[in-house]
Structure 1
Amino acid sequence: MPRKGMRSILFKPSPLSSPSSSVSMPSSSPRRSFSDSLIEENIEFARSLITKWDYDQSNYAHTTSLFNDSRHEARQYLNAIRDLQSAMQYLVAKDSTSQMLVDSQLLMQVAMKRLEKEFYQILAANRDHLDPESVSGRSSTTERISVSDYDEEYSDDEFRFAGDSISETERVSMIAMADLKAIAESMISAGYGKECVKIYKIMRKSIVDEALYHLGVERLSFSQLQKMDWEVLEIKIKNWLHAIKVAVKTLFSGERILSDHVFANSGKIAEACFSEITREGAMYLFGFPELVAKCKKSPEKMFRTLDLYEAISDNWPQIESIFSCESTSAIRSQAVTSLVKLGEAVRTMLTDFELAIQKDSSKTPVPGGGVHPLTRYVLNYITFLADYSGILADIFADWPLTMTQSPLPESYFQSPDRDENPSSEISVRLAWLILVVLCKLDRRAELYEDVAQSYLFLANNLQYVVVKVRTSNLGFLLGEDWLTKHEKKVREYVSKYERVGWGKVLSSLPDNPTAEMPPEKATVSFKSFNAAFLEVYGKQSTWIVSDPKLRDEIKVSIAMKLVPRYREFYDKHRVGLRRELGSDSVHICSPDDLGNYLSDILHGSRDSGSVSSHSSSSYHRSNGNGP
């Protein structure tokens, strides 16, 4: 029995019904039962309250909001509707054709019209307080407010249970959510859920669509994207990368929380509302990466494609959770499809990248034997790829590298942890790409006429590779063994360069520089050394070693091989040499100057065409004083 009706019977006499507001009972009718009296009173109380807030009966109702004007009366209004519904159920069971039932049904229609208006006003007036970001941030607090709050004496103070821990904005939002939930439950219970749901879908969908628009989510077709310049498309991708974070963590999450809260007593309605509100926007959002993946592929698009893949992959747990119901399965499928298409695009681009390296046909030697542009481009590209190693490992997990695809030695495919470590698969692929470019460099080294410069070119380029690997994530992926092996190879190239490039200079000195020999023979050796050194110095003043540390190491190594031996020969024979040369125009440098001349080499030159003659002249001028 409704509590309000019982309280009225026990503590006050039943009011006399006016002809205009109640059903007249014949004087000869039989005595009414206790239940009949209670039902009539509940209907009359509901009539008085519903009529007060009827738009057609009261000007006051047009200008005032029931739920904003008096929370106590709002509670009474909902309770009256509930009691009216109970009375109607009683009347249907007793006499489904009674005039009282007809009147009650009309009265319920008026009440539902009012609640429909209140529902709309709360949604409209609280757009800011019910924004998805606010809702998603306070879901746990809001869960403590339920329709049952309307069953007892109810005031704003009930929402201050958290004290100072909630702000005024949060309090307003919580009240609005509780009101919406109470109204929705009342309307659905009375059979007017369709009207309630329609308003909710229209209002909330407009908010979601507007939010996505401000986030830059556009409804673009594949043909539109295909025609865009890459610079324009890249801007749209950047906007999308920001949009997905906000949309998943805030927009869609907040909408799911709000729908589940407002329609807490009907999971199917909550799912249907959320699905219809978000489906269109979510399909456009998660469909954009698929369209990008279908566009023309090129190496420079690789990293933005990986960014798209990473964004979906990182947000997938929340996407799967938020869109978990059957009615949103198409949204989940679209996100998965985009992932698959992006992965295929990445695999295609990496294959094309390797083919582009292999097809490089540049025939012009790099001036000075420096680092080849292909080396710089490829290593910088691979270095950036290494930053996406986790994503790449996922993409290539089902596409292992095989011996038929790769020129790598079989040992690369027999790594003991390859099956246990997912990143080892991408490590193999990156090592493969580096090997491809190193093989191309071996062919480029053949373009140099001077064998010593060929070895210097190889040392320069491999040193660049090693440094890039060691100072990036590539070092972690390829491992210390790989680095040690290739650092050793650099030293081998340097050793060959020194042997070939400076062998003639060293051989111009006697095997035993301190051995006795006639002045004439010593003079010949000095002249031979002078000519050989001048030739090498002239050439290598135009050569370059780009890495400062390696350049210094090479110079120190050459000086250690050359200067001490020359000093011994010079100190032993300089007196006889001075007498032998006399006023001869040949000038020989001192051992101390030798190191200074060596400091000039391997720095390259801006004007490679005139360097040799310039260096030769400088050498002669610096030796003007003789030994």
Structure 2
Amino acid sequence: MPKMGFKKLFFFKPSPPPLSVSNNTFSDSLMEENIETARSVITECESQSPPLFTNTRQQAKQYLHAVITLQSTMQYLVERDSSSQKLVKAQFLMQIAMKRLQTEFYRILAENRDCLDPESVSGISSTDHQSSVSDYDDDFPEDDFQFAGDSFSTVAMADLKAIAECMVSAGYSKECVKIYILTRKSIVDEALYHLGVERFSFSQLQKMEWEVLETKIKYWLNAVRVATGTLFPGERALCDFIFGSPEKKIAESCFAEICREGAMSLFGFPENVAKCKKTSEKMFRTLDLYEAISDNWQHIESIFSFESTTSIRSQAVASQVRLGEAVRTMLMDFESAIQKESSKIPVPGGGIHPLTRYVMNYIAFLADYSNALADIVADWPKNPLPESYFQSPDRDGNNRSPEVVERFAWLILVLLCKLDAKAELYKDVALSYLFLANNMQYVVVKVRNSNLGFLLGDDWLTKHEAKVKEYVSKYERFGWSKVLALLPENPPAEMAMEQAKAIFQSFNAAVEETCRAQSSWVVSDPKLRDEIKVWIASKLVQRYWEYYEKYRGGLESVIRFSPDKLGNYLYEIVLFRAEESGSVSSHSASPPHRFKRS
């Protein structure tokens, strides 16, 4: 606040009252002596320019005790004669003293603005190191005031506490509290501003580009951690220390006034974000906001436990509820988008469909938020999952929520059903099964290598790994049955040369034709690709070897392969290719970007 503002607040010039002649009773003489002692101390300090609370505390101690004694004297005089001239004189002196203490109070707050930061005092509790004016002196042990800050800030805190107790006792609590709130509120607001907390309306957030809004969210995630960890606890600790005795309500009122506006702005931000347009890319930041409130809820509830800060707790709850609703909406929209995906163009080579990549990456990221999702979908109706596909695990002490597990299993089932329909787009039956094997393998690997594996369990993985093998087996049968049929498992002992020649010629042509067709087919997973190649090569070479050994004599001109060359040809040269990144579709196959939590 500008200096002139404080002058207007508490600088006044009362007129001195006339002196009166008192009765010569012992009590009256004692009261008059008290007033004179207070006048001497107060007048002496007013004639000096240096502040009271510097270097030694002897003068400050005398001043505070003089004020306390003056207050007691005034109470006595009020009871005896409220119109006494002594009382008028005492009131005049008290006004001068309170003006000086207000000035000192503001000076200490302002000069120690950096030392009395909330982080430095965040470890103080409301009952730590209670002191009062009665035991405040120039040689108080600084060790009694060692908190998280340095010795200078602890001395300042002791000074502020002593002044506050004196002013409150003298009936000047409003003046003291007003100075304190104005000064400390500016510190809290400034700290929140530097943390990136700004006051945005819903309409302002709604108009922001997502990249800009996401940056604001990242700032908020850091800000709420600092605010609930040090800023607000430190401010409450400072209020409790300075105003905690004798009247606790003053500390509560100060804290509420200082922090309410900033805290409401901080905890209101997520609610406005949750009201914005909901798209799949916003899911994970929305969950980050939800988790941040959940993770810090105990701190929020503890810090803002007063009745006067109920609105702050309510705002945090309202934001979390809104965020949960937004997540539920986005989950339903995500499932609907999978079901509505209607592309009719087969993925070249039977590779991994972009829908598979997107959905599985999305669900794998969602699995990292399983605890938050457990709260959000707890009351959702169950989906009719076939028992042959999935059996929900019982609660087994591993924090697996059946509702969340079933939701993930259901989303994957929706995807697999969609892939079954897309497999029918291939005219070649073998290629359709290769497509299913590729995509199922991608699903299995993604589950195994993410938190989904823990959630869905080994039984789910075992069933779907078996499904991959089933698809591969069907691909092998439909893709190579004609070639294998050319080499019967039990060749006749004797065969005419022309017949043997025809078999070799037919076999050569069939192998080359099949390999030529399948050379453009895709097996994305290297391990799966090697397994398929090994199976095909070993199966063909095993049968081919018998024919080759028995009938190669005199047929060198028509024999295209030796057994070794046939194996190399199938395994190393022409069969399958790895999927080229980005070549399968113009669709975005990338998962939503997952940022590190701030």
Q: TM-score, normalised by structure 2?
A: 0.90
Partners of 1:360 and 1:141 in 2: how far apart?
60
* Matched-pair contact (CA < 8 Å) for 1:185–1:263: yes
Deviation of the 1:151 alpha carbon:
2.4
| 2:40 corresponding residue in structure 1 | 48
Is contact 2:433–2:475 with CA below 8 Å preserved after alignment? yes
Aligned to 1:9: none
Q: 1:490 aligns with which of 463, 468, 493?
A: 468
2:458 aligned residue: 480
Query: What is the CA-CA distance between 1:558 and the residue it aligns to?
Result: 1.2
Structure 2: which amino acid aligns with 1:32? T
Which residue, out of 82, 90, 103, partners 1:96?
A: 82
TM-fit CA distance, 1:494 = 0.4
Matches within 5 A, 1:250-269: 250-265=230-245, 266-269=247-250
Q: 2:143 aligns with which of 160, 168, 171?
A: 160
Structure 1 residue 142, shift from structure 2 partner: 9.0
Listed as ranges, the matches of 1:126-275 within 5 Å are: 126-137=112-123, 139=124, 143-147=128-132, 150-151=134-135, 153-155=137-139, 158-160=141-143, 170-265=150-245, 266-275=247-256
Query: What is the letter of the counterpart of residue 389 of structure 1?
Result: S
- Aligned pairs (5 A) from 1:414-425: 415=392, 417=394, 423-425=401-403
Question: Which residue of structure 2 lines up, in the alignment, with residue 509 of structure 1?
Answer: 487
Q: In the aligned structure 2, how far is the partner of 1:177 from the partner of 1:400?
A: 57
* Partner AA of 1:43 in structure 2: I
Taking a change above 3 Å as real, the CA distance of residues 411 and 550 of structure 1, as seen in their structure-2 partners, is closer
* Number of positions where the alignment pairs a residue of Structure 1 with one of Structure 2: 562
Alpha-carbon distance in structure 2 between the residues aligned to 1:568 and 1:476: 49
CA contact (8 A) 1:370 1:460 kept: yes
Of 542, 564, 568, 1:596 maps to 568
Measure the CA separation in 2 of the matches of 1:129 and 1:563.
83
Structure with greater Cα Rg: 1
Shift of 1:575: 0.5
Change (3 A) 1:166 1:89: closer
**Match of 1:4?**
none
Distance apart, 1:412 and its partner CA: 7.2
* Residues 112 and 562 of structure 1, relative CA distance in 2, 3 Å threshold: same
**Maintained 8 Å contact 1:201/1:273:** yes
Deviation of 1:535 after TM superposition, in Å, equals 1.0
Q: How has the CA–CA distance of structure 1 residues 93 and 604 changed in structure 2, closer, same or farther, with 3 Å as cutoff?
A: closer
Asked if 2 retains the 8 angstrom alpha-carbon contact of 1:544 and 1:601, the reply is: no
Query: 2:430 pairs with 441, 452, 456, which one?
Result: 452
Task: Say yes or no: does 1:336 pair with 2:322.
Answer: no
The CA deviation string for residues 510-540 of structure 1, in whole angstroms up to 9 with x for no partner, is: 2313632111111111111111111111011
Per the TM alignment, residue 113 of structure 1 is displaced from its structure 2 partner at its CA by 0.6
Give the conservation status (yes or no) of the 8 Å contact 2:121–2:147: no
Write the distance in 1 (CA, Å) between the matches of 2:381 and 2:279: 22
Equivalent residue, structure 1, for 2:555: 577
Q: Point out the more displaced range, 359-368 or 409-418.
A: 409-418
Give the letter for the 2:413 counterpart: L
1:374 partner amino acid: L
Structure 1: tracts of 5 or more residues without a match: 1-19, 607-627
In the alignment, is residue 278 of structure 1 matched against residue 226 of structure 2? no
Unpaired runs of 5+ residues, structure 2, are 1-15, 581-598
State whether residues 377 and 403 of structure 2, in contact with CA within 8 Å, keep that contact through their aligned partners in structure 1: yes
Once the 2 structures are TM-superposed, how far is the Cα of residue 418 of structure 1 from its aligned partner? Answer: 5.4
Does the 8 A contact of 1:542 with 1:605 survive in 2? no
Which residue, out of 342, 346, 366, partners 1:365?
346
The one-letter code matched in structure 1 to 2:107 is Q
Q: Is the 8 A contact 1:555 1:598 kept in 2?
A: yes
Spell out the pairing of 1:295-314 with structure 2 (5 A cutoff): 295-314=276-295
The answer as to 2:17 corresponding to 1:32 is no
> Secondary structure of 1:135's partner?
coil
**Residue 42 of structure 1: CA displacement?**
1.8
- Please give the alpha-carbon distance, in whole angstroms, between the structure 1 residues aligned to 2:70 and 2:505: 123
| Superposed CA offset, 1:567-604 (max 9, x none) | 111001101434xx5xxxx4521111011111231115
SS for the counterpart of 2:113 is coil
Alignment correspondent of 1:533: 511
Root-mean-square deviation (CA, aligned residues, Å) is 2.2
For residue 332 of structure 2, what is the aligned residue in structure 1?
351
Distance 1:261 1:604, change over 3 A: closer
CA distance in 1 between partners of 2:283 and 2:579 (Å):
36
Partner SS, residue 444 of structure 2: helix
**Distance change in 2, residues 1:413/1:89 (3 Å):** farther
Contact 1:541/1:604 (CA < 8 Å) preserved in 2? no
Alignment partners' CA distance in 1, 2:222 and 2:137: 46
CA distance in 2: counterparts of 1:340 and 1:275, whole angstroms = 24
CA distance, structure 1, for counterparts of residue 144 and residue 321 of structure 2: 49
Deviation at 1:154, TM superposition (A): 3.0
Measured in 2, the distance between the counterparts of 1:487 and 1:402 equals: 23
Equivalent of 2:296 in 292, 315, 330: 315
Residues 369 and 411 from structure 1, CA distance in 2 versus in 1: closer, same or farther, beyond 3 angstroms? closer
Aligned mates of 1:177, 1:152 — CA distance in 2: 12
String of CA shifts for 1:101-126, please: whole Å, max 9, x gaps. 11011111111111111110011010
**Quick check: 90-99 or 381-390, which moved more?**
90-99
8 Å contact from structure 2 (residues 293, 316) kept in 1: yes
**Aligned residues of 1:145 and 1:178 also touching (Cα < 8 A):** no
Matched residue SS, 2:119: helix
Cα distance in 1, alignment partners of residues 390 and 499 from structure 2? 61
Higher relative contact order (CA 8 A, sep 6+): 2
Q: Secondary structure at the match of 1:575?
A: coil
TM-score by length of 1: 0.86
Distance 1:267 1:411, change over 3 A: farther
Structure 1 residue 564, shift from structure 2 partner: 1.3
State the Cα distance separating 1:400 from its structure 2 match: 3.8
- Shift of residue 353 of structure 1? 0.3
User: Structure 1 residues 69, 53: closer, same or farther in 2, change over 3 A?
Assistant: farther
Q: Provide closer, same or farther for how the CA distance between residues 144 and 46 of structure 1 changes in structure 2, counting only shifts above 3 A.
A: same
Question: In percent, how many aligned pairs have the same letter?
Answer: 67
Q: Aligned partners of 1:178 and 1:520: how far apart in 2?
A: 112
Give the stretch that moved more between structures: 80-89 or 460-469: 80-89
In structure 1, distance between residues paired with 2:311 and 2:135: 40
Structure 1 runs, 4 residues or longer, greater than 4 Å off: 20-24, 410-414, 418-422
